[in-house]
Every structure is written in C-alpha cells, then in structure tokens.
Structure 1
Amino acid sequence: MKKTSIQRQRGSVSIIVVVSLMALLGVLGLAIDSGMGYMIRTRLDAAADGAAIAAGQAVTRGNTQSQQVANATQAATAFFAANYPTGFLGSTASLSNPSIVFNNGTVTIDIAATASVAPTFMQMFGFKILNVSTSSEAVRKDLDMSFVIDTTGSLNSSGVPAAVRSSAVNFLSNFDVTNDRVALMHFAYGTIVDVPFNGNTRGFDRTTMTKDINAYSFSGSTNSVEAMWNARNQLDTVITQPSSLRVIVFFSDGAPNSFSGLFPAVNTACGKTAGTVSSPDTSGNWGSIASGLYTINAQQTQMSGCYSNTVSNVVTAMPRWYNAHNATDQTLPIWPVTSPRAVPNGTPTQANVNRASRNLLEGMAEQARLEGTYVFTLGYGPYLTQATGPDNEPGANVLKCMANTADSDCYKPSEPVGVYCYAATTADLKPCFSQIASQILRITK
C-alpha cells in the first residue's frame, strides 16, 4: 500500500510538471510573439507617421484638388513602402488609401495601415494569425506668406540672376496654389509688390509670380527696410482673416545701407531753398513709392534733379521716427537710440544712416514676430560674411537677428524662432530655398 501511494504521488508530480511546463511554454510563447508584435507595431507606426508627413508635404503640389490628392496618395504609398520592408519579421503589411479632407485652407490627412504575421509559439494554442493595426493623422495648417526677393545691383554678376530666379520659382512650387496665400515683392532702391494678397481669398497665382520673377532685373541700392515694411503691411492690412500660420521669407545678399522717409532738406550745392525730400520710385526717380537715403552718396532730390556726393548738402537731418508711410507714427525710433547700434543724433552722416538702417530692419522683423509671424531669411554670397558698415559688422548678423536664430546677437526665445540659411555659391541657392520650404512645411503640420 505504501508503495502504491508513493507511485501515485510520483504520478501527480509528473502531471503538475507537465502542466507547469505547458504553462511556462505558453508564457514564453506569449512573450516571444508579443515582442514580435511589438516590433512590428513600432515599425508600422513609424511608417504610417512618415507616410502622413510625406502626404502633407506632397498635397501642396498640383493646380487642382484632384491633382493634390493624387500627389499626396502617391507620396504616402511610396514613403510607407520605403519604411516598412516587404516581409518584415515575416509579416505582410498594407496601407489603406489616405483620407484627404480640404476645409477652409486646412488639409487633414488620415492614414491607416495593418500588418499580419503568423505567431511562432501561440499557434500551439489555436492562435493562427497576429493582426497589428495603426493610424496616423497630419493636419496641414493654412499659410499666409510674404516672399521678398533682393534685386540689387550687387547680385548682377555672372550666373547669379539666373540662379536667383530659378531658385525662387522652384521655392514657390512647394506651396498649395488653392489654399496657401502668398504675396510676392522685390526690392532695391524701393519695393514693388508684384503680386499682392487677394484679400481673404485663398490660393495664389503661381503662374503670374513665375513670370514676374523671370523678368527681374538686378540694379540699385539696398533699401531692405522698405521691403520689410511692405512684407508686414501685406500680412497686416490686406488680409483681415489671417491664417493659422504667418510667414515672411526674406532673401538678400547684403546688409541695408538706406532707409525711406521724409527728410528735411536743402541743397547748398545747387543753391536751392529748404524743402522736404520725399520718396523716389524703384528706378531712382522721385515719385510716390518709398525709397531711401543712400549712405555712399547723397540722393538726387526732387529739387530739379540736384545731386551731391555729400549727404549734408542734400539732407539736413534724419527724422526722429520711421515716417515713410505715416508722418505721425512713433513706433520705430531712429534717434537718439543706444541699441542695438547707437545713433546719438539726427546728423545725416554715413555712420548714422547705416546704423539706423540696420536698427530699423531688425525692429520691423521683431514687430512681425511679436504679432506671431515667423521670419525666415536667406543670404547669398561673400558680402554677407564681410565686415561692412561703420562697425565692421557682417550683414549675416542682421539676417540672423531678423529670423531670431539661437546664435544671433538678439535671440529672444519667447518669440517665434525662424531659420537663417546661407548660400555661399549659386549652387547652394536651391538647397537653401528647399531647406526654408521644408522648415515652413514642418511647422504647418
């Protein structure tokens, strides 16, 4: 009897061991198959997220919504396939057709993907297929953008105008002609708004802009201040229902050396009586479009075309505030100021005019940022890296400050942070414009 009892106990232990081993095997199988499912899910998530971002970038291409949907779908499919390898861990994945919804300038893109794999151990317990699914959404915000192009004479050297034109045209191809709003302008002595915003109407005329850009000629002085004023004015006054994202893209090859205004004037060289110097047009003729006071030579005045190489022979003083468009506006002081560059008085010396020009440009950019506008700047060529002006300051410093980059002298983390891209050669222009476009599209998501 005792022997039989021991045998029974041994039999019970054997059963417990078998059951325990099966349980352990089940736990082990569950752990292995769950780990495989987790790795598949992680890869599927990344591929779907990337597909949504790619679709959000591609949806800007095309002249109609059907073309934009086709481009977005193609981009999503290609990106998903590139980021989820065929047969990954033995799985089979599929991407559903993206859902793309246009709604008052905002585009919402929904992505859904699934993957199926046969489990390794869990088949022993009747689980034949492990299904993994994921979804991702990209919302492309509506965009208002002022695009500013420098057409000054310093860019008029072999190959440069053609490179600027082609790069600018290519840049515009990144944006949605049916939903984004873009204003185009160029500057030298003064600024011409080639294609303004069409009120609150969504979309922009890329065909006309391309024609205008390809017709640009390059000459004249660098009145960047007037260009920045027009860029901000387009965003603030032409559009009364702003988009969720506002951007100024500013291209130049140098620091400002002039600014616009109403200047008390007398031309002693021509023996004229005191008067007021108003504003010349972009051809350098006096008219209604604001231009600037040059630092190298005094300007021709409206007083019978008198001209002098000495500023003080033409202009007796600089205005206290920037008054080119509003004689009573006291938002931007010209003198006396101590920073960022000291302009102690209104004497129209080259040093005072140059410093005031740089101060005004940076001040206008900050005003735009305080209104929630991102400023992106592009610089080209050797002039930007050379020490210029009375303080031997590279023009790149001004462009960095306008964009509020972290390495600028005036970085303010509480304000929108843009990007400054420097193109040392004409070959760097398109990549630089592409980088700016990519950054803008990233923050529209």
Structure 2
Amino acid sequence: MRIPYRRQDGQVLILVALCAIVLIASVGLAVDSGLGYLVKAKLNSAVDSASLAAARSVTLGDTQTEQAANARQSAKEFFNINYPDKFLLSTPTLNPVGVTFDKGMVTIDVSATASLPVSLMGVLGFKTLDVAASAQTIRKDLDMVLVMDTSGSLNGNAKAVRAAGVSFLNKFNTTVDRVGLLHFASGVQLDLPIKPVNRGFDRTIASTAINAFNFTGGTNSSEGMWQARSQLNSIEQINRSSLRVIVFFSDGSPAAFSSYFFPGSTTCKSTGTIATLTDKPGSASPLRGLYRMDATDTELAPTTSCDVDKLTTLPDWYNMQNDAARTYSATVREFPIVTTTPRVVTNSLATPLLEWTNVHRASRNLAEAIATKARQEGIFVFTLGMGASLTAAEGPDAEKGEDLLRCLANTVDAPSRCRKAAEPVGLYCYAATESDLSPCFTRLASAILRISK
C-alpha cells in the first residue's frame, strides 16, 4: 500500500519543481521585460535624435556624396551620445544609415538594435533579449522666410541675436532650400529676396546681412509678417515647394503699423509707419512720428501738410498695393484697421489715450490677421521670442507679447480667440536669456524638419 503513496509523492515533487520553474520564469519574464522596456525607450530616443541630427547635417556639403557622409557622421555621433555603451548592460548596434535623395526631398532612415543579457529567464534557455528601434525623417524641399526683429530694445543682445540667426540659416541647404531674409523695426528691409524659380539661397549674403544688423527703432510686426507672406506668394504655384514656412523672431509686442495716412492728399503720397510708446500716455501725445516703411528707423521729413501732428484719423484699411513700391490703393480691402474684432479699433486720434489705444490694438490685429491669411494659404508660421517683455502685460489690454506670438503660430496653447484648429499648427519657443536663443532656433529647425509628407 505504500508504493502508490510514494509514486504520488514523487508526482507532487515533480509538480512542485515545475511550478517553481514556471514561477521563476514568470518573475524573470517580468524583470527582463521591464529592463527591455527601458532599453527600448532609450533606443527609440537615440535613433530619433540621430535621425534629426542627420537631417540637419545633410545641408552641409556641396555634393550629395558629401551631404550623405555628413548626415551619417552626425547620426553616429548623436546615437552614441544618446545611447551610451553598456546601458543596463546592453550592447547597442547602429545599422547603416540610409540617405536617399529624390527630387529635392531627402529621406533619412536610422535603425538600431540592442542586446540585453537576461537574468531569471535563463532557466528557459534564453541568453539575451534583443530589442530594435527605427526612425525616419523626411527632409522636404523648403520655401522659408526668416523675419528678424531689430528694434532698439534688442540692442543689448545684438551679438547673440546675430550669432543665433546665422547659426539657424546654417541648418538649411543652399542648393535645395529656398530661403528669404528680412528684418524689421519701425519699417522693413528685405535683405535676401527669395528666388521665384530656381532653388537654393546665398548663405554668404544672408550671413553678411545678419552680421550687419543695427538694432534701433520701434516694433512693426505686421509689416514684417506681410512682407514675408508676400515673398512666399511671389513664387508661382508651379514652382512652390510642398512646405512653406515663415520663421518670425521678436522680443516684444508691436506698437507700430504701416499704411497711407493721408490717402486723400495730393501732396502726401508716401507710405509710412505710425509708431506709439509702450507706456500709457500722460497729457502729451504719444505718437513718435511717421517713419519710412522701407527703412528700419528713418523718420519721414515733415511738410506743412504731411506732418504727423496733422493726423486726425487713422485710415480704415491697410491700404497698400502688393507691389514693390507699396503704392496706395483705395480698393484694397484685405486687412481692416478700423474693426470690432478681435480688438476694437476706431479711427480717432482725438486724445493721447485714443491714439495710444488705437495704434496698439491695430498693430496687434494686423499682425494676427496677416498671419491667419498666410496659414489659410498653407504657410506654417513658427515664432521665437526673447526677453522679459514678452511675459509682461503691456498695452491698453494688458496683453503678454508671447500670447501674440502663439497666435501668429497657431499653437495648441494659443488663446482661444485666435486658435484655428483647421489651419497649420506651428511652434512658439521662448528664450528667457541669450543662452536660450540658439537652442530655441535649433528647436524650430528640428520642428520644421519633422513635418513629413
């Protein structure tokens, strides 16, 4: 009678052993899977960084062979930085980086694997746990205008702004990308017109222009945005790139805009920019004067009938033709100055407070309206702001300058009054100090490169 009992006891021992093995394997699976998840996350981040770095570096070089070599080298360097050898005892392997050129578009393919030694899963015969990751960045041909604020409030940061602007343009391809450059203060100057037919841009001319920027004058954001849109739209539809972008840099809220301020006059034929002060006025008139629209800080010479002091009303419309001379047109009705939305603007300049209020509000309204029109035409707007002024409440409605920049870019966190879900979504980056400026420009460049087919 004892023999069956022993057999049953042996079976129990076998079952216990099997349960122990299953339990150990289950624990091992949980532990090793957790480590594998961490390795996978690290590997994903490394190949993504490598792919973006390669896409940025593919702009360097005069031939496709040189460009591909620079892309692969950058991919390798960024992968090694972002995935250190022996991370959680794993061994990474970066596969050959694919760089494919196709009619103005470059596709970067980066993939990698990592082998992780297992712990308790070894009881099931496993030696290593292998994970893989891949990333693709499609660098499309690009039409882009860089708009730089050179108002007087940036004078103390001139060196950093110039260096960041030059560095930003170095991330784009001089033979594939079309790039235009302009800067604004009270007025606007076009430094590098965008090519209407051929691709590419002259990096030397652009860099030389940026390094010669003088920082003086007011902040006429709407004219900077208008000129950027005009440059992109000067390219005929058949020649346009699939990706069109405005990159807009500024340090504060606008307090100036351009128009014809004496449209009915037979003697005052010049366009001009009206500018006001940032601070709320006292008893004195806040208008600083009328400025040339094609120069950053040149006041129009007053005449008997065309002096700023003779102004009694603002024009109803942003009333200029889309031509090189920006000539007056009584029929242009695209962007209103006098309006009830999004900010109420009347044409009255009857008191210093009305002048200050209407000029401030019109400056903001016009910048937002022109950016909205650009986005409706398929143009992405990316904005970059620097300095404490952007986070301070200014103007008649105590608005933050960074909220305006969010509206221009149509970011997901833009104020509800300007958020347009159906329009292209850009990016706003805030540089609190000079040291944040170059990383912000790099972030914008990476965001542009992320926009795929």
Q: Classify the TM-score, shorter chain.
A: 0.7 to 0.9
CA contact (8 A) 1:119 1:130 kept: yes
Give 1:176 deviation, angstroms.
Answer: 4.1
TM-score, structure 1 length as denominator? 0.78
Q: Distance in 2 between matches of 1:91 and 1:300?
A: 65
Deviation, structure 1 residue 437: 3.6
Indicate whether 1:51 and 2:51 are aligned: no
1:368 aligns with 2:374: yes
Question: Which of 245, 248, 270 is 1:278 aligned to?
Answer: 270
CA distance change for structure 1 residues 91 and 21 in 2, over 3 Å: closer, same or farther?
A: farther
User: Which has the higher Rg, Structure 1 or Structure 2?
Assistant: 1
* 2:110 partner amino acid: I
Counterpart contact for 1:378–1:399, Cα < 8 Å = yes
Is the CA contact 1:44–1:134 (under 8 Å) kept in the aligned structure 2? no
Q: CA distance change for structure 1 residues 262 and 205 in 2, over 3 Å: closer, same or farther? A: same
In the TM superposition, 1:88-237 aligns within 5 A as 88=87, 90-116=89-115, 127=125, 129-130=127-128, 132-142=130-140, 143-156=142-155, 159-199=156-196, 201-237=198-234
CA contact (8 A) 2:169 2:203 kept: yes
User: What is the TM-score of this pair, normalised by structure 2?
Assistant: 0.77
CA distance in 1, matches of 2:387, 2:116: 56
Change (3 A) 1:155 1:393: same
SS in 1 for 2:209: helix
Which of 270, 273, 278 is equivalent to 1:292?
Answer: 273
Any idea what SS the aligned residue of 1:277 has?
Answer: coil
Is 1:412 equivalent to 2:415 in the alignment?
no
Q: Is the 8 A contact 1:297 1:309 kept in 2?
A: no
Q: Give the 3 Å change call, closer, same or farther, for CA 198–206 of structure 1 in structure 2.
A: same
- For 1:324, the equivalent position in structure 2 comes to 320
Is 2:274–2:291's contact at 8 Å kept on the other side of the alignment?
no
C-alpha separation in 1, matches of 2:434 and 2:274:
30
**C-alpha separation between the residues in 1 aligned to 2:420 and 2:300?**
48
- Once the 2 structures are TM-superposed, how far is the Cα of residue 124 of structure 1 from its aligned partner? 6.0
> What do the CA deviations read for 1:186-231 (whole angstroms, capped 9, x no partner)?
1234322222332354443333211111122233443322211111
Helix, strand or coil at the partner of 1:260? strand
Q: What is the alpha-carbon root mean square deviation over aligned residues?
A: 3.7
Separation (CA, whole Å) in 2 of partners of 1:248 and 1:278: 28
CA distance in 2, matches of 1:92, 1:154: 52
Rounded to whole Å, the distance in 1 between the matches of 2:11 and 2:270 is 101
Amino acid at match of 1:319: P
Tell me, in whole angstroms, the C-alpha distance in 1 between the residues paired with 2:159 and 2:300. Answer: 38
| % identical equivalent positions | 42
Correspondence for 1:249: 247
In structure 2, do the counterparts of structure 1 residues 318 and 425 end up closer, same or farther at CA, with 3 Å as the change threshold?
same
Equivalent residue number for residue 362 of structure 2: 356
